[in-house]
């Protein structure tokens, strides 16, 4: 693929970049955003849905991937069509967006840092029992993530994420094949059906798997890849679709494991990341220690892609946020990853959250984290809908009917999930 930019004449009379040829060799940012968004908690939610309802909610998992494709495509399209970052777009909607984002990245980052380190530590502690305390493993995971992101540029980061995604994919597909899925039941699960008591699980499958702030970071990773104008639009769309189709296969594989291994035998998993340790025990009993250890390796890859993905992607967003108010703090940095705000947020994600590893999370912090976190996905979907239907976006790249339907449906879905999450908080 040529690196030089050719130009052509658009209908407006302005020179526009000629489209680059969409190639499999170009994909990367989509794999990064999809892998970061799928964490251990998503695996547990998918397994529990499979264990309770078999393949009945398979259609919801597929629909969820389509929702994420539309959201990530919208974020990437904004960056390429306007030459502006997503935070530029948010600022144009009013100062309230800056106030919300500031509160979000501070509180969310503090609690998420501890959760990501703990999730990555769990499979390591199970793989190497009686070696180190769980908290020590968690601290080490955070420190390694910090050093890796601090000293590496996007190209290296993307390669490591791709390797970890490969591990995740191979392990989950192997497990799905090993439990011998019932193809007839799986195909029947593509028909939209809502069994009694399945509504929340259905909404969770559609909205939860692969849906976090990292969807908003997609445009930043697109720019970090070197895609900076509309000539890269076809490449970005291929990249995004391949990534979420891969995620879809990943989710379907885990649903099959839940349906075949847990649903048929009536095994219940613990909620939260520790539920994956329950599955490891079941796998060892059924298929032996080697399969259980292989699963734990996949568990670690899943958790650690979320950790280093957030360490990199959300730090890019924070650097952009700070740079809009204090340009002197980002001026002179050869890349955003070398800027002071980027590295300051990296430190915020790593060291303050370590205190939560040794203490119970304060009640007020849990509530605050839950409220701000629940509001983010509706905020993202609805602001993208607003931005991409306004004069802020060049007419050629504004939403069509399908994009509006998908983003509108995503916004409504995330509002419902937000209300449900708020109701479940320990007020």
pLDDT per residue rounded down to tens, the chain (427 residues): 333 333 333 333 345 677 777 777 788 999 999 888 887 777 877 888 888 888 898 888 888 888 888 999 999 999 999 999 999 999 999 999 999 999 889 988 988 898 889 889 999 999 999 899 999 999 999 999 999 999 999 999 999 999 999 999 899 999 999 988 888 888 888 898 888 887 777 877 776 655 678 899 999 999 999 999 999 999 999 999 988 888 888 888 888 888 888 776 666 666 666 778 888 888 999 899 999 999 999 999 999 999 999 999 999 999 999 999 999 988 888 889 999 999 999 999 999 999 988 876 655 655 666 666 678 888 999 999 999 999 999 999 999 999 999 999 988 888 887 887 777 766 6
Q: What is the residue whose two structure tokens read 């360490």?
A: 311
SS3 7: strand
Using left for φ > 0, alpha for ψ between -120 and 50, and beta otherwise, residue 83 falls in left
Query: What is the rounded (10 degree) CA torsion for 244, 214, 113, 89?
Result: -170
Query: What is the rounded (10 degree) CA torsion for 69, 389, 320, 333?
Result: 90
Phi/psi at 388 (5° precision): -85, 0
Rg (CA), the chain: 21
pLDDT at 374: 72
- Exposure string over 292-312, b if 16+ CB within 10 A, otherwise e: bbbbbbbbbbbbbbbbbbbbb
pLDDT at 115: 87
Residue 77's contacts (CB-CB under 8 Å, 6 or more residues apart) are: 233, 236, 388, 397
| CA–CA distance, 44 with 59 (Å, rounded to integer) | 18
Q: Are 64 and 210 in contact (CB under 8 A)?
A: yes
pLDDT at 81: 97
Query: What is the rounded (10 degree) CA torsion for 287, 273, 214, 346?
Result: -120
Phi/psi at 287 (5° precision): -125, 0
């Amino acid at each position: 693929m040529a690196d030089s930019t050719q130009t052509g004449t658009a209908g407006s009379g302005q020179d526009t970049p000629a489209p680059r040829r969409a190639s499999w060799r170009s994909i990367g940012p989509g794999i990064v955003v999809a892998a970061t968004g799928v964490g251990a908690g998503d695996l547990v939610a998918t397994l529990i849905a499979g264990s309770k309802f078999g393949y009945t909610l398979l259609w919801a998992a597929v629909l969820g991937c389509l929702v994420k494709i539309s959201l990530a495509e919208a974020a990437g399209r904004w960056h390429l069509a306007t030459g502006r970052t997503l935070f530029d777009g948010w600022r144009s909607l009013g100062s309230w967006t800056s106030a919300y984002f500031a509160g979000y990245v501070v509180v969310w980052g503090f609690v998420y840092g501890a959760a990501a380190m703990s999730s990555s530590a769990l499979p390591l502690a199970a793989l190497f029992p009686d070696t180190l305390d769980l908290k020590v493993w968690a601290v080490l995971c955070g420190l390694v993530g910090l050093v890796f992101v601090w000293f590496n540029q996007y190209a290296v980061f993307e390669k490591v994420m791709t390797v970890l995604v490969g591990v995740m994919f191979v392990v989950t597909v192997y497990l799905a094949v090993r439990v011998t899925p019932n193809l007839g039941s799986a195909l029947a699960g593509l028909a939209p059906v809502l069994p009694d008591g399945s509504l929340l699980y259905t909404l969770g499958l559609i909205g939860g798997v692969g849906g976090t702030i990292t969807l908003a970071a997609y445009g930043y990773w697109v720019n970090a890849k070197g895609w900076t104008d509309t000539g890269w639009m076809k490449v970005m769309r291929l990249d995004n679709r391949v990534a979420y189709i891969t995620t879809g296969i990943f989710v379907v594989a885990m649903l099959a494991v839940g349906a075949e291994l847990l649903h048929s035998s009536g095994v219940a998993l613990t909620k939260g990341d520790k539920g994956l340790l329950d599955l490891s025990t079941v796998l060892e009993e059924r298929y032996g220690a080697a399969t259980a250890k292989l699963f734990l390796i996949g568990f670690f890859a899943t958790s650690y892609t979320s950790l280093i993905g957030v360490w990199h992607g959300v730090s890019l967003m924070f650097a952009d946020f700070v740079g809009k108010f204090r340009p002197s703090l980002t001026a002179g940095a050869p890349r955003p990853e070398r800027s002071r705000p980027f590295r300051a947020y990296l430190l915020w994600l790593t060291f303050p959250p370590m205190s939560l590893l040794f203490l119970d999370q304060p009640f007020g912090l849990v509530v605050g984290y839950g409220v701000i976190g629940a509001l983010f996905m509706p905020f993202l979907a609805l602001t993208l809908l607003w931005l991409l239907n306004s004069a802020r976006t060049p007419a050629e790249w504004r939403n069509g009917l399908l994009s509006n339907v998908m983003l509108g449906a995503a916004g409504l879905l995330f509002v419902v999930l937000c209300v449900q999450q708020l109701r479940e908080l320990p007020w």
